[in-house]
Amino acid sequence: MITVNGENRTLENPVSVTEYLKACNYIPVQVVVELNEEIIKRENYDTTVLKDGDVVEILHFMGGGSF
């Protein structure tokens, strides 16, 4: 069980951040991932494995609008 953006999620097996993002239809270059209160560098998404007890925050960039 991991927590993603405040919601509990069950993982069948440990997965990399990249694998998780793709499974949830995120585009990895359009998000920032915080794992256990630390920002993960995008180049480490493939090698960072999510495991039981992790707390993940996924921040999605949005564009548009004018002032």
For residue 44, pLDDT over 90 is answered with yes
The pTM for the full model equals: 0.86
- 37 domain residue, yes or no: yes
For residue 36, pLDDT over 90 is answered with yes
For residue 67, pLDDT over 60 is answered with no
Question: What pLDDT score was predicted for residue 65?
Answer: 59
- 65 domain residue, yes or no: no
Question: What pLDDT score was predicted for residue 18?
Answer: 96
CATH label of the domain that carries residue 29: 3.10.20.30
35-48: burial string, b at 16+ Cβ within 10 Å, e else: beeeebeeeebeeb
- 67 domain residue, yes or no: no
Average pLDDT (19-28) is 94
Cα–Cα distance measured from residue 27 to residue 46, given in angstroms and rounded to the nearest whole number: 13
Question: Do residues 37 and 14 make contact, with C-beta atoms less than 8 angstroms apart?
Answer: no
The H-or-E segment that residue 17 falls in is helix 17-23
Question: What pLDDT score was predicted for residue 61?
Answer: 74
Cα–Cα distance measured from residue 60 to residue 67, given in angstroms and rounded to the nearest whole number: 21
- 41 domain residue, yes or no: yes
Name the residue range of residue 37's domain.
2-60
Number of domains the chain contains: 1
Question: What pLDDT score was predicted for residue 39?
Answer: 97
